[in-house]
Amino acid sequence: MLESAVKTIVEKFPDVTVLVNSNVGVASEFQDVGIHLPEDLCKFHSIAREKTSDKKTIGSSVHSVPAAEKADENGADYLLVGTMFESESHPGKVASQVVHISSNSLADTDNYSVHWT
């Protein structure tokens, strides 16, 4: 069922990047479909890469600076920063560090800097 839905989305929106959440098998069926892993599965980036290709986009959700560092070490192509601070939907969340990412251009992925404070 998921495979059929992804196929429909890829065909209907050919200019949009499509990521499949946690399902390496379905993502590997499509050339240009990437994989998004939740933070607790980021250790599987290398396995996902082995089962797909070096060109496949594989990223991860992160909810702390140490999780971001771990996902980077494991080969994530991108990080989706989730709840890192207290909010109405996440009361009591304690921020461990503040992250500032700057770039000259959002399209310029080779020219950015990350500052931990």
Q: Could you tell me the pTM of the whole model? A: 0.69
Chain center to CA of 99: 17
- pLDDT, position 94: 66
3-class DSSP assignment, residue 104: coil
Cα distances from 94 to residues 4, 43, 87, in angstroms, run: 40, 23, 10
27-50 per-position pLDDT tens digit: 888 988 999 888 888 777 777 877
What whole-number distance in Å separates Cα of residue 99 and Cα of residue 6? 33
